[in-house]
Structure 1
Amino acid sequence: MRFTFTSLTLAIAALAAASGAQAQQYTIYGRANLDFEKTELRGTPAAEAFSGNQRVSSNSSRLGVRASTQFEGLTVFAQVESGVSWDAGGDTLAGRDTFAGLEGTFGKIRIGKMDTPMKDLGGLTDRFKGTGIQDDGGIAMLGGSSNGFGRRQSNSLRYDTPEFSGFGASLQYGLDNEDKGSSEQKKLVSLSFNYRLDKLKAALAVEQHRNFNEPGFKDHAWRIGANYDFGFLNVGAGYNELTYKVAAGTLKRKYAALSAAVPVGPKGAISARFSKAGAVGGSAPEGTTIAGADGNQLFRGADSGARYYMLGYEHTIFKGAQLYTYWTRIDNQANANYRFGVNPLNVTAADRGADPSGIVVGILYDF
């Protein structure tokens, strides 16, 4: 007799019912997102000397387990999600969204490690499948660690309201660690307001970081985005502003993005995105810098802007499985060094003024 996971689930449910326990649901899920890449660096002597490389990359691939129990109108749930390096093996247990919580007519409460409402808003202009070098999280938000605003925050408490006539809100409070005094402890507050109406989605998010860059200072960002699906065309637009406070003053940077996707036949789609990062201004002296994740950096001064281009094609094999190809390029001005949002070229040659680009061919499978 063949024994399957479905058989095990039915057996557990039967035992739970026999013992009088509440029915529990278990789900094992995952994503394998792999591509073959040819990348290049241009724009500076060091970049030209490096030229580029070829590689296989795993792009935010994952494996997770969810469990939930319903009792008198209340759902208790938990999730453990781990990264999986499908290209070379290994990764970090519970390194992705991992939490427990409650859901009911009052909304949803979660505690643990999870994406912030600020990061969630980026989905309104992400018209591609999965993530990879085509992701703009580095140039848009300085990435998801260090001083970046595209974060998956540890030690967090998050509340999502129910939806009222298309309106909803999310609030998250997070701590970077638990071993420092309150005057130095890094703290985060992220808030978003969301709206849905038929094929329209829109959101506004604000986020504040305390003691992230320097003790005693607060950094903040705000972001707005919208997406509309016409059927024959899906369009997304986003805008954000980042402000960092240092002892000598402030650094400020604006960013705008526009994306589109056009269906091609019953299973294909062409997607594109263009964005622009403005020059870094503020009251801090010229030359002041702020470091984000993976080498992304703000440089206060002239020629500190950049432009981002992406063009791709996706083909759906069946729901949850796609083949794709993307071309991505970032044109950095002389004092900018933005990098790919996922799997960036973190090499010495990728300094200010270097322009990374690449083309990928890959497969994504959700299960």
Structure 2
Amino acid sequence: MTALAATIPAVSMADVSIYGRAHVSVDYLDDGAKYSETNLSSNSSRLGFKGNHEINPNLKAFFQIEQQINFTTGSSSGGTSFATRDTFVGLSGNFGAVQLGRFDSPFKVARGPFNLFGDQVGDMNNLARVTNGRLDERYDNTIQYTTPDFSGFTAKVGYSMYKGQSIDITTANNNEDSDAFSVSLNYIGGPLEASLAYEQVEEDTLRGEADSIRAAAAYKITDAFKLVGFYQTTDFEGYSTTTSAARDAGTFNVYGLGGEFVIAKNTALKATWMTHDNDAKKSDADMWVIGVEHKLDKAVRVYANYAVVDNDSNVAYSPWMQSRTATPSNQSIVNGVNEALGEKAAGFTVGLRYDF
């Protein structure tokens, strides 16, 4: 009996693995006005547990629990909370997969083919997700269906109840219908990887309603050179008290091109250009990023990037505000005026990423 009890934990743990990412960088950031400092940043570092269990040859159960970790301060995100990143449980089989929990929407994942500088200075989201409107998120309370693979094609359909609609309809800020719907069509085959996605979030009395379409693609022209492209259009409706100026500021198109060129074994040069075309006056911006990455082995890589955002006179975007702990903002406020408006914000970063 004792021997049987001793084997139970081993059998239970056989389907579970521990994984994570330690991603840190040293950055020199300059907003083009009065802020120019060196920072140490933890960039979407994480710790997770995942596993699967075969119920029968045609059906599996799977799960994942993932928490963001700050390697620069030793703290986790979300205070005392756990599972702040992609966390879910589901079933998979010949029918595809169904999962429930909190995780990236199909629309968010669809940026993948273009995302050469993800979680780094120069991350594409510094121009593709710059408003207060809900967009491109990891939504709570989500159900998602993923189709089987059809000759390289898959589709994802996700629906989030988000916080749901409050039963306290007498308080304005509680009377919110905050559902979100997201769908993507994805292809991976030969030299091409591509995604087309749509996301619609219902009116939220705090952050408003929006509709977005995005497309991203990567094509290997040769074994050494990959070309990438991106397009996104977002229409922000806001909520009942949203001003026309705020609606314009949340409505924009973003597009860009880039490439990755392998210059030696495990070493690649990368570059992207993106432009943000906003409905609000003098609120456009361009971002250029160039970098080099070297993989020391399958688990560890080092890199260096330089990124610049060139702003119109009414905006002060920067290339460092997304997916990082070092996100200095509004550093150049003088007498209530942001002196970084209309300036060029630049960042130089040297980083280390260890996947385990």
Shorter-chain TM-score: what band?
0.7 to 0.9
Contact between 2:165 and 2:176, CA under 8 Å: does it hold in 1?
A: no
- Do structure 1's residue 159 and structure 2's residue 145 form an aligned pair? yes
Question: TM-score, normalized by length of structure 1?
Answer: 0.82
Partner of 1:91: 76
Q: How high is the sequence identity, in percent, across the aligned residues? A: 27
CA distance in 2, matches of 1:307, 1:151: 23
> 8 Å contact 2:127–2:276 — kept in the other structure?
yes
- Does structure 1 retain, via aligned residues, the 8 Å contact 2:27–2:349? yes
CA distance in 2: counterparts of 1:12 and 1:124, whole angstroms: 48
Number of residues of Structure 1 aligned to a counterpart in Structure 2 = 324
The answer to whether the 8 A contact 1:174-1:189 is kept is yes
Q: Which residue in 1 is equivalent to 2:172?
A: none
Equivalent residue letter for 2:226: N
After TM superposition, list the pairs within 5 Å mapping 1:58-207 onto structure 2: 58-72=42-56, 73-92=58-77, 93-128=82-117, 130-142=118-130, 146-178=132-164, 180-181=166-167, 184-207=176-199
Deviations 1:45-75 (A, max 9, x none): xxx2x23111110000000001211111211
Q: What is the rounded CA distance, in whole Å, between the counterparts of 1:112 and 1:358 in structure 2? A: 35
CA contact 1:24–1:70 (8 Å) conserved in 2 = no
1:14 deviation in Å?
4.5
Written as runs of structure 1 = structure 2, the 5 A alignment for 1:1-367 is 14-15=7-8, 24-42=14-32, 48=33, 50-72=34-56, 73-92=58-77, 93-128=82-117, 130-142=118-130, 146-178=132-164, 180-181=166-167, 184-212=176-204, 218-229=209-220, 230-246=222-238, 250-251=247-248, 252-278=251-277, 280-281=278-279, 300-301=280-281, 303-339=282-318, 340=320, 341-343=322-324, 344-349=327-332, 352-367=341-356
How far, CA to CA, are the matches of 2:276 and 2:218 in structure 1?
A: 20
Distance 1:63 1:360 in 2: 23
Distance 2:204 2:193 in 1: 31
Contact 1:116-1:151 within 8 A present in 2 as well: yes
The farther-off stretch of 321-330 and 341-350 is 341-350
Change in Cα spacing, 1:22 to 1:342, as seen in structure 2 (3 Å) is: closer
Structure 1 residue matching 2:109: 3-state secondary structure: helix
Q: What is the SS of the residue equivalent to 2:15?
A: strand
* Kept in 2: contact 1:35–1:360 (CA 8 A): yes
Equivalent-residue separation in structure 2 for 1:218 and 1:305 (angstroms): 22
SS in 2 for 1:15: helix
Helix, strand or coil at the partner of 1:89:
coil
The separation in 2 between residues aligned to 1:61 and 1:165, in whole angstroms, is 34
Residues 261 and 213 of structure 1, relative CA distance in 2, 3 Å threshold: farther
Unaligned runs of 5+ in 2: 170-174, 333-337
> How far, CA to CA, are the matches of 1:40 and 1:254 in structure 2?
26
What root-mean-square deviation, in Å, do the aligned CA atoms of Structure 1 and Structure 2 show?
Answer: 2.4
Which secondary structure does the structure 1 equivalent of 2:316 belong to? coil
Task: Find runs of 4+ consecutive structure 1 residues off by over 6 angstroms.
Answer: none
C-alpha change, 1:169 and 1:63, in structure 2 (3 Å) is: same
Scaled by the length of structure 2, the TM-score of the pair is 0.84
Q: CA deviation at 1:348?
A: 4.2
Q: Say whether the 8 Å CA contact 2:211–2:234 is kept in structure 1.
A: yes
CA distance in 1 between counterparts of 2:347 and 2:36 reads 9
Cα distance in 2 for residues equivalent to 1:348 and 1:269: 34
Structure 1 unaligned spans of 5+: 1-10, 43-47, 282-299
8 A contact 2:224–2:263 mirrored in 1: no
Give 1:214 deviation, angstroms: 6.0
Query: 1:88 Cα deviation (Å)?
Result: 1.1
